[in-house]
Structure 1
């Protein structure tokens, strides 16, 4: 590419990035003041900057701030931010509680998938008939079920971190159940994508082989790669008498992180799961976790992650709701999403022996859809399974489920954990 062209594109990207960081920070701070996760404000900032609000009154301004030339570079920055965020989320959690809580994890995650799936099967035919009869019914039903059953692992991580619950048994149980739900959701998404794209040519044999390779890779990551990196960390700390990163170790860490992301992407699941799994492999080394948090956490959260949410908001068109039926459909999607995930996870946790407060808290946490829901919705649109109206309905569902997570969790949190939560 021409160096002058690169410089021109860089200037455009910097202008867009400045606006995104400022808007996301302001809206995130506002949401935090009212007890909501900053991610909700970051998504709202994208909605405000996009065609749903400012774009209605000043479309030329939106085109000036976010021209076509910046969309590719911003999307790349957003992906890198998600990788680093998921890596941090994986490191931050203490999974030592899971031996006692494994039944709760499995039961709540299974019910947290089955109940929303059932809800999706109930409402998908009406949504299809009313809003998009031209779309393929089978693929649309699959997508609705997936979008309703998935949880937002990174946003749940941020909520738990902000509420100081990341190293509690409840936090570890919820994040593990969400990881299972998300993994199953991505598998379903992969299956549905293959079915839609390949039709009768789809074969189960390669898929089962792919699944076996993913399981094998995660095992190697936990038993070989993670311990090797931890030994390297301890060696560099002892050699240089330091509790932070040396350049050599940092190069090793980033290379391993990116290779892990590439491997999971090559194996057919999202690259962010490779980052998360690698973080989990290092979670048992608190000094390493602290060094990462001190060095990189704020930069990732403030400068990189908001780009993804803002891009989603820029593609959302609330103005496409041109009649009362559209708003009824929007309400129905959000209501079924909340009832299915909250009810399913709560009942699953109760059947496994958790208290009502624990079950409701787990359900409230898994109810948030923000990040993973947005990714799944974007895939659905790329596959041609969503028009603008349906896309906006599911975006609003992600906003509503994320907005209700904090208040529900504060209301239902067990009494012994409420004292850990900072006051709003």
Structure 2
């Protein structure tokens, strides 16, 4: 690159980060998920707004020379990897609590039924398929079943609900289901890339993916404990930050060589790091989360918005049908499952609304499926908009419930007739940790 191209590239990064942070700040002040504002910042700079007002300016800023798209794509993927890495930090601890009966019911209602219906109902959206039919069916199953742990956690924190059994049950169920769904996504991308052309190939992909998961969760922590005893005591927190990032890249590189989805590998790396509870490593994880959530992840979400061309890619009937059908399936299934588990109908509906929050994971799914060539730009737009609107809907519903009765989640409504206490505000340290380590999703 020459000096002019380098200057233009850095200017595009400045505008993307500024737009994402400004949009995130506005939506945060409105008590809405910051991720939506970050995407809106990208939309404002993309073909949906700036491209309509001044196509020449948009092209000059973001497509001014051949290498610019590749450079921005590198930031896009690095932001996505760090988003999943930091999400893994929180997933294990947040999903550790909850009522076994309600959690199990929500896993069935929120995962098995929606995924099955999405998988077999994929033919309704067949005209948006670009790649392998099986990969497309798997993606559509995930699209209906996915729940956003960070966004729903952020909503619970803002409303002071994080310490209630209701919140713990939702997060516990979402943790289990999302781990399974990310595994399925890894299989879907392998199928799309031609690594599973027949039954034997699919079996091989599943075996490699599960082996990678087991090695990541059981072998890698043991190896890291040995290394920590021998070497880590000699390192400062700053140097451990670099080595932790190295661990993430090792997981991603190994997954790439094994043809396992790299986004899934980053999540596993975060889960491995979450297994270590030392004070020094907790500070290291926070340093990485700070860098990720306030720099790389906003750029990633802004680039998601930048890729949306609502004038050309927004298919109104397709989007409304997908959002309506997938919401009806997830909402009904989770509500009935919660009712079967013994909660009241209104509380069961609360579970259905909360589990339908798709947020960042829904956007990540859209990004991965679109980049892999599984879905077209219309379905990509529909998935992103579904993630945004369901996150809005959950926040509005729970706020309305609390506005009508501030003690609604303290009253009977969970299993049996027990009343549960709820502090008016979440602890400051818990709020800070989740906001900074996960709220970007």
Same fold by TM-score greater than 0.5: yes
Deviations 1:173-230 (A, max 9, x none): 4444333323332333344444453534752442342244134224326852565587
Number of the residue aligned with 2:70: 72
Deviations 1:368-413 (A, max 9, x none): 3233222322343345443333332222212212222322344457
Instruction: Judge conservation of contact 2:151–2:359 (CA < 8 Å) in 1.
Output: yes
Instruction: Judge conservation of contact 2:98–2:169 (CA < 8 Å) in 1.
Output: no
After superposition, the CA RMSD in angstroms is 3.8
Number of the residue aligned with 1:50: 46
Question: CA separation of 1:254/1:319 partners in 2, compared to 1, >3 Å: closer, same or farther?
Answer: closer
Question: CA separation of 1:234/1:134 partners in 2, compared to 1, >3 Å: closer, same or farther?
Answer: closer
Q: Which moved more, 1:54-63 or 1:332-341?
A: 332-341
- Please say if 1:299 is aligned against 2:291: yes
Partners of 1:171 and 1:47 in 2: how far apart? 32
Instruction: Judge conservation of contact 1:94–1:166 (CA < 8 Å) in 2.
Output: no
Number of the residue aligned with 1:367: 356
Question: CA separation of 1:57/1:252 partners in 2, compared to 1, >3 Å: closer, same or farther?
Answer: closer
How many residues end up aligned between the 2 structures? 405
Number of the residue aligned with 1:395: 384
Which of the numbers 250, 268, 282 marks the counterpart of 2:241? 250
**Structure with the larger helix share:** 1
Matched residue of 1:78: which SS? helix
Partners of 1:119 and 1:275 in 2: how far apart? 31
Instruction: Judge conservation of contact 2:313–2:377 (CA < 8 Å) in 1.
Output: no
- Give the alignment's TM-score, normalised by structure 1: 0.79
Instruction: Quote the offset at 1:156 in angstroms.
Output: 4.3
Instruction: Judge conservation of contact 1:370–1:398 (CA < 8 Å) in 2.
Output: yes
- Please say if 1:149 is aligned against 2:145: yes
Question: CA separation of 1:235/1:134 partners in 2, compared to 1, >3 Å: closer, same or farther?
Answer: closer
Number of the residue aligned with 2:330: 341
Number of the residue aligned with 1:377: 366
Which of the numbers 311, 314, 322 marks the counterpart of 1:319? 311
Partners of 2:94 and 2:111 in 1: how far apart? 24
Instruction: Quote the offset at 1:170 in angstroms.
Output: 5.1
Instruction: Quote the offset at 1:134 in angstroms.
Output: 8.7
Partners of 2:248 and 2:119 in 1: how far apart? 38
Could you tell me which runs of 5 or more consecutive residues in structure 2 were left unpaired when the two chains were aligned.
Answer: 402-407, 411-420, 432-441
Partners of 1:94 and 1:286 in 2: how far apart? 17
Matched residue of 1:98: which SS? coil
Number of the residue aligned with 1:216: 214
Instruction: Quote the offset at 1:15 in angstroms.
Output: 0.8
Partners of 1:81 and 1:384 in 2: how far apart? 20
Which of the numbers 73, 88, 91 marks the counterpart of 2:89? 91
Question: CA separation of 1:263/1:414 partners in 2, compared to 1, >3 Å: closer, same or farther?
Answer: farther
Question: CA separation of 1:115/1:257 partners in 2, compared to 1, >3 Å: closer, same or farther?
Answer: same
- Give the alignment's TM-score, normalised by structure 2: 0.76
Partners of 1:223 and 1:132 in 2: how far apart? 41
Could you tell me which runs of 5 or more consecutive residues in structure 1 were left unpaired when the two chains were aligned.
Answer: none
